[in-house]
């Protein structure tokens, strides 16, 4: 009865209430992990509100969220206890291969506590900054979180970011110190950090080993005791919608003709990097289009605009939350949809303030956002360029602080704050131009701190910047994938580095190849690849014609994977190698 009553009041999660529209069907969560559930159908409506808990697990990457989820699933009998239960909720191939969570996953657990049956709806969330959108979505469906912190590594940058997401959402926060079994674990030190940075009394921390299952039961007890009560359920809604844009995440659904006070919703995902995506072969356009549509249904944080280029044909410009997000999307396209694509240099969304009324009329705006470097307006049309900036948080052992400060300076960052979170760990806050960190800042930070420093960032608006468009040419033809916008002071070093990288990744061909970086007509860097002929038949002694034919066929197949820029043949992965390492030079 409470379900009907709550639905009438608009208090329920959508799957239990009939949705607006005609072709809507409602049902209970289909991922009810319960041993009991396997034998008999559990009537979800028999759970009074006070016996339901909706909670999320949040943490810095690799601190053990998915492992803790495995133990919770086992402890509640949702899955059988076996040695093979490793990151059970990480289902995507890309998640298993990379060992990271990309999509938040839900599971409903049934748990008997002090004679009462409870329904615990668990959401396992990703830890990487690129997927924090998934975290904020998950949190809006919860009343509490388990904030997992590694007992050896202590508080890291994403621990701080995730804590504040939960704190701002006014959720109950249960700190869980994990991996106490590790030789170097120091749970007491981490407890003090939690007290200092988050102002949570140390005795509220639960110390566990998710791997061994030590003390995990106390986590479930705390979920029941410390997380408040709230009308709500996690579930699914099947509606007759044709297009993903018809429903925005955060929408409130209500009974037809009985509007309710809408839920506040939350900030929509804001793409941080854009890249062009084109089919390797234009005949693949429709297949790729359908693959992108299906994948964005599953990941609505990707923004899609149609785009076209003279060299690459018809394609799209996609907006991602970060570079890892872009790589994962690309990998999912390949693995789940067998699609093969060309990706252009990722760029951040720059802005330009137009200089004349005529231009403003032409663009229908005073200030334009540039997500495609090929459309970067010339300086004569612009009064100023603006670049996006982010507030970055770095947590590091203090012995690396000096080197990190130098790295930040080289990336044009401005220091905003510095504080010790314990005797030898420092938290630094810097304002970074987004394009300085988007490609490989994290890798540089990790390598100069022997892997100990962590990094997270949040959007901080725009600042004025002196920007220029840079072309890369192969024997005089522009490489569309590598057109980029750079800060004026960095043009020479970035151009030189791209040319050098490209030289290393281009195979020699029958003629000499000139690799050039140019600002307009001005060449600022050049490298040369010497001529060479690859004789695939060199290994064929004697006259075995079938063997010769086989080798020639293999060479022809290899050529299909090449892209032609002017007269130069470029292997697809050559650009990716260049993109991955370009920004630090
Ligand atoms: N020794 C030890 N290792 C653990 C424990 N919990 C997790 N691990 C290991 O830590 C690594 C990361 O664990 P995950 O559960 O994948 O971490 P995560 O936080 O879910 O990672 P993301 O989903 O990528 O953010 C794995 O190798 C786990 O086996 C623990 O209690 N003790």
- Tell me: the pLDDT tens digits for 312-353? 789 999 998 888 788 888 888 888 888 878 888 788 999 999
Average pLDDT over residues 492-514: 85
Confidence of residue 39 (pLDDT cuts 50, 70, 90): very low
Angle subtended at Cα 549 by Cα 547 and Cα 551, rounded to the nearest 5 degrees: 70
- Cβ atoms 227, 143 nearer than 8 A: yes
Give pLDDT, residue 129.
Answer: 62
pLDDT, the chain, mean: 79
Confidence of residue 361 (pLDDT cuts 50, 70, 90): confident
Percent of the chain with pLDDT over 70: 76
For the residues of 362-431, what is the DSSP string, one character each? HHTSSEEEE--GGGPPPGGGEEEEEEEEEEEEEEEEGGGHHHHHHHHHHTT-EEEEEEEEETTEEEEEEE
Confidence of residue 141 (pLDDT cuts 50, 70, 90): confident
Give pLDDT, residue 18.
Answer: 32
CA atoms within a 13 Å half-sphere pointing along the CA-CB vector of 399: 5
Measure 211 CA to ligand 1 centroid, in angstroms.
8
Mark the binding-site residues, compressed into ranges: 59-66, 124-128, 178-181
Average pLDDT over residues 61-65: 88
The residue that leads in pLDDT, 553 or 503, is 503
Compute the distance between CA of residue 387 and CA of residue 105 in angstroms, rounded to an integer.
Answer: 35
Percent of the chain with pLDDT over 90: 29
Query: Both tokens of residue 258?
Result: 């009985």
- Tell me: the pLDDT tens digits for 185-227? 999 999 999 999 999 999 999 999 999 999 999 999 999 999 8
Compute the distance between CA of residue 410 and CA of residue 402 in angstroms, rounded to an integer.
Answer: 13
Give pLDDT, residue 33.
Answer: 39
Compute the distance between CA of residue 376 and CA of residue 368 in angstroms, rounded to an integer.
Answer: 10
The ligand 1 atom at the shortest distance from the C-alpha of residue 59 is 19
Alpha carbon of residue 353 to chain centroid: 30
Inter-CA distances, 434 with 136, 141, 142, Å: 21, 30, 31
Q: State yes or no: pLDDT of 63 exceeds 80.
A: yes
CA-proximal residue: ligand 1, atom 21 (nearest):
62
Mark the binding-site residues for GTP, compressed into ranges: 59-66, 124-128, 178-181
Measure 579 CA to ligand 1 centroid, in angstroms.
30
Q: State yes or no: pLDDT of 561 exceeds 90.
A: no
Give pLDDT, residue 228.
Answer: 81
Report the range out of 141-145, 365-369, 385-389, 434-438 with the highest average pLDDT: 385-389
Pocket test for ligand 1, best of 64, 71, 86 (most atoms within 8 A of CB): 64
Ligand 1 surroundings by CB, under 6 angstroms: 59, 61-67, 87, 99-101, 126-127, 178-179, 181-182, 209-211
Measure 204 CA to ligand 1 centroid, in angstroms.
22
Confidence of residue 144 (pLDDT cuts 50, 70, 90): very high
The residue that leads in pLDDT, 232 or 524, is 524
Out of 147-161, 240-254, 259-273, pick the least confident. Answer: 240-254
- Tell me: the pLDDT tens digits for 426-485? 999 999 999 888 877 888 898 888 888 988 888 899 999 999 999 999 888 888 878 889
Compute the distance between CA of residue 443 and CA of residue 90 in angstroms, rounded to an integer.
Answer: 24
Give pLDDT, residue 245.
Answer: 66
The ligand 1 atom at the shortest distance from the C-alpha of residue 100 is 24
Angle subtended at Cα 392 by Cα 388 and Cα 394, rounded to the nearest 5 degrees: 160
Q: State yes or no: pLDDT of 310 exceeds 50.
A: yes
263-269: list long-range contacts, CB under 8 Å, 24+ apart: 263/140, 265/140, 266/136, 266/137, 266/140, 267/136, 269/133, 269/300, 269/301, 269/303, 269/321
The residue that leads in pLDDT, 40 or 361, is 361
For the chain, report the end-to-end CA distance as a whole number of angstroms.
Answer: 65
Report the range out of 34-43, 327-336, 404-413, 555-564 with the highest average pLDDT: 404-413
- Tell me: the pLDDT tens digits for 529-545? 887 755 555 555 555 66
Out of 244-258, 414-428, 507-521, pick the least confident. Answer: 244-258
Pocket test for ligand 1, best of 56, 66, 102, 324 (most atoms within 8 A of CB): 66
Measure 132 CA to ligand 1 centroid, in angstroms.
18
- Cβ atoms 156, 118 nearer than 8 A: no
Measure 213 CA to ligand 1 centroid, in angstroms.
12
Residue ranges in 92-202 assigned as alpha helix (H): 93-98, 132-139, 157-168, 187-198
Pairing relation of β-strands 367-370 and 341-343?
A: unpaired
Q: State yes or no: pLDDT of 65 exceeds 60.
A: yes
Out of 52-61, 184-193, 368-377, 507-516, pick the least confident. Answer: 507-516
Give pLDDT, residue 11.
Answer: 38
């Amino acid at each position: 009865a409470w379900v009907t009553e709550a639905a009438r009041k608009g208090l329920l999660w959508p799957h239990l209430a009939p949705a607006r529209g005609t072709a809507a069907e409602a049902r209970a969560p289909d991922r009810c992990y319960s041993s009991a559930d396997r034998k008999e159908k559990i009537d979800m409506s028999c759970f009074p509100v006070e016996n339901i808990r909706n909670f999320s697990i949040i943490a810095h990457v690799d601190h053990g969220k998915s492992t803790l989820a495995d133990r919770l699933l086992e402890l509640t009998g949702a899955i059988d206890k076996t040695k093979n239960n490793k990151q059970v909720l990480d289902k995507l191939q890309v998640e298993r291969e990379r060992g990271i969570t990309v999509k938040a996953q839900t599971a409903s657990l049934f748990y008997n506590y002090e004679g009462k049956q409870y329904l615990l709806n668990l959401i396992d969330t990703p830890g990487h900054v690129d997927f924090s959108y998934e975290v904020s979505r998950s949190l809006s469906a919860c009343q509490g979180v388990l904030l997992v912190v590694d007992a050896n590594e202590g508080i890291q940058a994403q621990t701080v970011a995730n804590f504040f997401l939960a704190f701002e959402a006014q959720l109950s926060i249960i700190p869980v110190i994990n991996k106490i079994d590790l030789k170097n674990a120091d749970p007491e030190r981490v407890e003090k950090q939690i007290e200092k940075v988050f102002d949570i009394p140390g005795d509220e921390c639960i110390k566990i080993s998710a791997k061994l299952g030590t003390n995990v039961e106390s986590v479930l007890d705390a979920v029941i005791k410390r997380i408040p009560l709230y009308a709500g359920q996690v579930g699914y809604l099947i509606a007759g919608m044709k297009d993903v844009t018809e429903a925005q995440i955060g929408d409130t659904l209500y009974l037809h003709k009985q509007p309710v006070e809408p839920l506040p919703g939350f900030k929509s995902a804001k793409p941080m990097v854009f890249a062009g995506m084109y089919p390797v072969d234009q005949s693949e356009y429709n297949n790729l289009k359908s693959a992108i549509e299906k994948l964005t249904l599953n990941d609505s944080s990707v923004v899609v605009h149609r785009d076209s280029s003279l060299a690459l044909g018809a394609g799209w410009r996609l907006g991602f939350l970060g570079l890892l997000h872009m790589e994962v999307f690309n990998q999912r396209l390949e693995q789940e949809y067998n699609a093969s694509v060309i990706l252009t240099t990722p760029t951040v969304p720059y802005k330009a303030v137009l200089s004349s009324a005529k231009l403003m009329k032409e663009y229908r705006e005073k200030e334009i956002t540039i997500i495609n470097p090929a459309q970067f307006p010339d300086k004569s049309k612009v009064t100023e360029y603006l670049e996006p900036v982010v507030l970055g948080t770095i947590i590091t052992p203090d012995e690396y602080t000096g080197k990190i400060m130098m790295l930040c300076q080289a990336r044009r960052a401005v220091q905003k704050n510095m504080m010790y979170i314990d005797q030898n760990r420092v938290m630094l806050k810097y304002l970074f131009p987004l394009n300085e960190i988007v490609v490989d800042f994290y890798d540089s930070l990790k390598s100069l701190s022997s892997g100990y420093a962590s990094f997270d960032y949040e959007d901080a608006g725009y600042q004025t910047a002196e920007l220029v468009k840079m072309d890369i040419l192969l024997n005089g033809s522009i490489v569309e994938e590598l057109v980029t916008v750079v800060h004026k002071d960095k043009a020479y070093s970035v151009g030189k580095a791209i040319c050098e990288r490209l030289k290393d990744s281009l195979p020699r061909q029958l003629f000499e190849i000139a690799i050039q970086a140019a600002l307009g007509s001005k060449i600022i860097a050049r490298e040369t690849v010497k001529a060479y002929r690859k004789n695939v038949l060199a290994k064929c002694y004697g006259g075995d014609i079938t063997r010769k034919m086989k080798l020639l066929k293999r060479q022809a197949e290899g050529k299909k994977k090449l892209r032609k820029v002017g007269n130069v043949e470029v292997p697809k992965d050559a650009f990716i190698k260049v993109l991955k390492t370009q920004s630090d030079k």
